[in-house]
Chains A and B, each alone.
Chain A
Amino acid sequence: MSDKSWMSEIPQLDRQELRDFKKLLDGLFRDFSREYGDAIQSFFDPLLSTLIWFEKLLLSTPWWLVIAVLAAFSYAASRSFKLTISVAAAFVIIGYFGMWEDTMRTMSMIIVSTLLAILIGMPIGVAMARSNRVQSLVTPILDVMQTMPAFVYLIPVVMLLGIGKVPGVIAVIIYAIPPVIRLTNLGIRLVDKEVLEAATAYGASPMQRLFGVQIPLAMPTIMAGINQTIMMALAMVVIASMIGVKGLGQPVLQAISNQYFTQGLLNGLAIVALAIIFDRISQSYAKRTLQNFGGH
């Protein structure tokens, strides 16, 4: 059987070589995390304190004030009483079923991750829109981020940063950032060429063009991306709970391992409620920016 043909069998590393290869990479990464783990951790310290501060803020604020602020926020974004009342009602019900604290933790996590995703994602999207080279470089990375199973990139994150809030936020951002990048890029590329030309013809500087014309005109598209980012961040909450992120994900995880049907259902529904609320608020805001554009 020595003449095994490459025609019938795919050429393969033998097991020893494969084991060595894995060992080598693992070893390199372990060394790397031992060497730089602390430095990286302290790099993320400000993020950690922000997270803790924001979570504490939400938890220590009286529930009626939180609801009032959320209701005011949704009214400001949508100008719709129906939505505002639904938002308030949803939070009252969540609280009534004893999920207030977990919901606040999840919300603080989502808000911080989304803000960070926007903060990081929009400049990347802008850079992609400005240069085809950057676009062709970033697009495959985004593809990997969106299709790689979340557990796979949880491994190195946990190895570097341990378990807790910061690796949780990082995992959420990696998972949720692609839409805001992609749609910022798309939105800016779709800005009417003649309008941009007009800005250039009147002597607008590149920055004046970006902030005065391109981003405002791309805003409806960018908002769609932000909306998607929020949705994906919420979907990631359950997985993030596996690396110690507290919130609505943990009771769900607990329910899975213990087959607590009702607990799983209630917490799942709370996540859904959060998702719907964020979705409606951001969408109606996007719709209102679109309305300003008049009869197009």
Chain B
Amino acid sequence: MSSNENNAPLISIKNLYKIFGKNEKKVLEEVKAGKSKEAILAETGHTVGLADINLDIYPGEIFVIMGLSGSGKSTLIRHFNRLIDPTAGEIVVAGDDVMQLNDKDLQNFRRQKMAMVFQRFGLMPHRTVLQNITYGLQVQGVAKKDREERGNEWLKTVGLDGYAKQYPGQLSGGQQQRVGLARALCTDADILLMDEAFSALDPLIRSEMQDQLIELQDKLHKTIVFITHDLDEALRIGDKIAILRDGLLIQQGTPVDILLNPIDDYVEAFVKDVNRARALTVETVMQPQICRISSENIGEAVAQMRKSKQEYGYVVNDDGYQGMITQETLENVEKSDYGNAITDELLEDVPSVQSDALLESVISDMLDNEHPLAVLNAEGEVEGHLSRTTLAEVLSDSNEESKDPDPQKE
């Protein structure tokens, strides 16, 4: 999940405006002057598609742009490879100003730098699956043998072995989108643009495809711009999320940011229906400050416990997490025994949870234990703890709002 914050952004969009209509340049001034979208539509008949969009997308991250239909998200993604030309603004990809490219350069830019996956797949019905996958390479002029070799490789990767000679019309929706994905990967472009790529698929297939995308991304480390109207999808696959409304970018941040700190009522209305237990991981809500007891004997443990001023501590030795020990137990131990090692009898049997586990999966452990659970990271070290109160707070917050008698509707 760590994006390379220190690197320069791979894609950078500055002050992007898109106005639909005959006299866009003139209307642009009015938009910049702060006139509302409705006023402009009423007075000039021009539609403001996008206004003052600023985005930085870093290499290797999945950047999700989310919004409802009409919010301008599909318009926005088409600016990345200039399928749509902006009215004003700057688009910089890997240091190149895309707006300065002439037709020929733009063509090469599209061939080398970006690949796109479409909502309704955009496959060519007169070409076989393999010919579709290798389309990008064919356009580039790669020799047939070479491109079919590479195409077959990707066909296998997306799990469509044996479908090479079929036509797209003979495949199911999910299979067709796999072809779309393979076509995008086949050109080896660093940037993947996915325009509601999974929205046309039914829910089971959709989550399957999401898993596959995440799995592929772990291997390939592409930079993915993903458009969706589905917040669950955004939270599931996004490293960063930008929320678009009526052509304006209203919030950008990590999924947890958006979920826990919605910037306004609109975003809040969006996130309140999200099942937080399923969207958040333990890591995002745990408390990191803990008393970690790593001593060999009881005496040192008592000292460590006193120093931390906590009422309990997590006992760790070379074999990893052992269990929890309370201050009470420690203080009941006779001073003469301080030289002894900490034995199992002294420990409370408190289970541990993985930091990347979903909250959903820890609820039952939480209910069975009155003590806060230990949170372990991937290396098995104790990272923090998760208490009932924290969990209840995070989860109930959303419940309260969904019971709101007058929920805000679109």
Contacts and interface: CB of A to CB of B under 8 A. Distances in A.
Instruction: Report if A and B associate in a common complex.
Output: yes
Report the contact-size class of chain A (Cβ under 8 Å from the partner): 20 to 34
Interface in A72-108: none
Contacts of B168: 294
Contacts, number: 79
A285 B5 CA distance: 58
Nearest to A219: B126
Interface in B121-173: 121-126, 135-136, 139-140, 167-170
A292 B126 contact: yes
Contacts of B314: none
A295 B116 contact: no
B124 A294 contact: no
A49 B119 CA distance: 54
Interface stretch (A120-128, A190-198, A230-238): A190-198
Nearest to A293: B125
B228 interface: no
Given A195-B124, A198-B118, A203-B108, A294 B83 contact: no
Contacts of B120: 194
B234 interface: no
B126 A295 contact: no
A118 B109 CA distance: 36
Contacts of A293: 125-126, 167, 169
Nearest to A198: B122
Interface string B76-93: 000001010000000000
A97 to B, nearest CB: 43
B83 A195 contact: no
Determine chain A's interface SS by DSSP, over half rule.
helix
Binding site of B, secondary structure by majority: helix, strand, loop or mixed?
A: mixed
A203 B140 contact: yes
A201 interface: yes
A201 B116 contact: yes
B-side interface size class: 20 to 34
Contacts of A197: 83, 118, 122
A218 B136 CA distance: 21
B123 A195 contact: yes
A294 B170 contact: yes
Interface in A19-64: none
B138 to A, nearest CB: 8
A296 interface: yes
A261 interface: no
A12 interface: no
Contacts of A200: 83, 110
B247 to A, nearest CB: 21
A216 B83 CA distance: 22
A36 to B, nearest CB: 41
A217 B169 CA distance: 13
B114 interface: yes
Contact of B139 (A202, A219, A289): A202
A192 B108 CA distance: 24
Contacts of A292: 125-126, 167
Contact of A213 (B124, B140, B167, B170): B124
Interface centre among A194, A203, A205 (most CB of B within 10 A): A203
Interface of B: 81, 83, 107-112, 114-116, 118-126, 135-136, 139-140, 167-170, 183, 187, 193
23 contacts: A194-B121, A195-B124, A197-B118, A197-B122, A198-B116, A198-B118, A198-B135, A199-B135, A201-B110, A201-B114, A202-B111, A202-B115, A202-B187, A203-B107, A203-B108, A203-B112, A203-B136, A208-B139, A217-B125, A219-B126, A289-B126, A295-B170, A296-B169
